[in-house]
Amino acid sequence: MIKLTAFILMLLAHVGFVFFPNSVVLLIVGRLAFPLFSWGIAQGYKYSKDLKQYTIRLLVIAILSQYPYYLVFHNNYLNVCFTLLAGVVVLALYNCSLNKWWKLIFISCVFIFVDIMNFEYGMYGVALILVFYIFGANVKGILIHLAITLIGIYFYQYNIVQVFSILSITIIYLFKNQNFRINRYVGYAFYPLHLIVIYMASIYSKL
């Protein structure tokens, strides 16, 4: 149910960006989507039966989505699927058998790489995945979520409405025990397909 909600909120955010750029409501609603996907990655990592295939699927979708992403947003970021993939890599490093100092070094390298390569949401996005994995949605996790969101707003100069992303915690609490499943292939295909549809609709609207 959380994943379905994330898809709906993301769709609303992207529709708002393209067709209703002055809608503050859609802008705020859209801020709730990424934390829900971050939660999904943290949970997916915990329960994935084949982490290698899980990672490969994310990489394939990230690559396939990049051109549609560019057509819609016209920026120089790598799309959010790359950020989610980086989150999986960080979680794998966090759980590997290396000593804590080597873990810290390699995880720091991933964070730096994400920032240099302009992954969408940058270090803030990867940090949020790690926070959800370690702390879940408890009080400490919520406070850290709020802290890194404020840091992200300052560091990346996000719109202040990004602070509303913390409200995603309420959705997680409401639906985390709701076992509504989306077909795996539908879930993975949704991101590039919805970008293509939005782009085509934007072209049609200008005719």
- Per residue in 57-109, pLDDT (tens digit) is 999 999 999 999 999 999 999 999 999 999 999 999 999 988 999 999 999 99
State how far the Cα of 85 lies from the Cα of 191, in Å rounded to an integer: 14
Following DSSP, what letter does each residue of 22-72 receive, concatenated?
A: T-HHHHHHHTTHHHHHHHHHHHHHHH-S-HHHHHHHHHHHHHHHHHHHHHH
Q: Which two tokens stand for residue 145?
A: 């979520």
State how far the Cα of 35 lies from the Cα of 129, in Å rounded to an integer: 8
CB burial class (10 A; 0-12, 13-18, 19+) of residue 171? buried
Q: What integer pLDDT is reported at residue 205 of this predicted model?
A: 83
The DSSP call for residue 162 is: G
Question: Residue 44: which pLDDT band, with cuts at 50, 70 and 90?
Answer: confident
- Per residue in 18-38, pLDDT (tens digit) is 999 999 999 999 999 999 999
Q: Is the pLDDT of residue 128 over 90?
A: yes
The closest alpha carbon to 6, from 110, 80, 90, 94, belongs to: 80
pTM: 0.93
Q: What integer pLDDT is reported at residue 190 of this predicted model?
A: 93
Name the residue with tokens 């939005």: 198
Q: What integer pLDDT is reported at residue 149 of this predicted model?
A: 92
The closest alpha carbon to 76, from 120, 45, 35, 107, belongs to: 120
Q: Which two tokens stand for residue 50?
A: 């084949």
Half-sphere exposure of 67 (CA within 13 A, CB side): 2
Following DSSP, what letter does each residue of 102-142 receive, concatenated?
A: HHHHHHHHHHHHHHHTTBTTHHHHHHHHHHHHHHTTSHHHH
Amino acid identity of 76?
A: N
